[in-house]
Amino acid sequence: MEYDYQFVPVGEQSLNIVFPEVIDAAENRAIQSLARALLDTDEGIIATIPAYHTLTVNFDAFRTSFTELTNKIENVIKNHALLKNDDKKHIIELPVCYDEEFGIDLEAVIKYGKTTFEELVRLHTETPYLIYMMGFMPGFAYMGSVSEKIAMSRLKNPRAKVPAGSVAVAGKQTGMYPIEAPGGWRILGRTPVKLYDPAHPEPRYHAGDHIKFTAISKKDYYYIQKLDLKGSYELKELV
């Protein structure tokens, strides 16, 4: 599958490759594929930052220029057919407790979707979500797409503090708060897994991965939390 794209300079040592402005899994997988391929080249590329419909490329201005690099990227795309729909998935299972103590917006989302608690949990856990991009804060994954029935919009007035581990939705997006932070997403539950540790900042998941939420009881929440704090809990990889 081919996509239209354009190059946009964003600084002396950065450029954006801009694709059609949609939230589309196939397009995002193509962007992730291109990001990995460019890092494998020896073209003065320092880093690649994939997002929903853009790919930021940071480069060494002493080794290449905007014009030179765009020509090289064009060749990579054309010669290696990188913009293809790759259906392979890396799925990570993440436990979530949907107890009302943790899911402070459960009632509002249930009312919005004219559904039940059981149906809401089923809808939120039945499908693996693609991580389109990482951002906002370390370890925060922007994922989609959520069922229309529970795709409630953000709060008009964001909360000053959202507890670490909170799992939430904002329209068709879903994600987890890795640390306590302000936020306006609708909170459905909480994971007992520590999503960000400044002493070990490497995230436990990356853009291009899929997250599969699994509902757990409050008892299991505290049990897993203890294991995770001891460093003896490993996230399951389903694929």
Q: Which two tokens stand for residue 144?
A: 């989609």
Q: What is the DSSP letter of 64?
A: -
Sheet of 45-50: strand order equals 6-11, 14-18, 54-59, 45-50
Instruction: Give the whole-angstrom CA distance, residue 169 versus residue 10.
Output: 31
Question: What residue segments make up the domains of the chain, in order of their start?
Answer: 6-80, 91-237
The more confident residue out of 238 and 131 is 131
The more confident residue out of 89 and 170 is 170
Instruction: Give the whole-angstrom CA distance, residue 221 versus residue 225.
Output: 6
Query: Which amino acid appears at position 135 of this protein?
Result: G
Q: Would you call 72 helix, strand, or coil by DSSP?
A: helix
Return the CATH architecture of domain 6-80. Answer: 2-Layer Sandwich (3.30)
Judge if pTM exceeds 0.75.
yes
Per-residue pLDDT tens over the stretch 70-106: 999 998 888 765 555 555 678 999 999 999 999 999 9
Q: What is the DSSP letter of 13?
A: T
Per-residue pLDDT tens over the stretch 15-26: 999 999 888 888
Return the CATH architecture of domain 91-237. Answer: Beta Barrel (2.40)
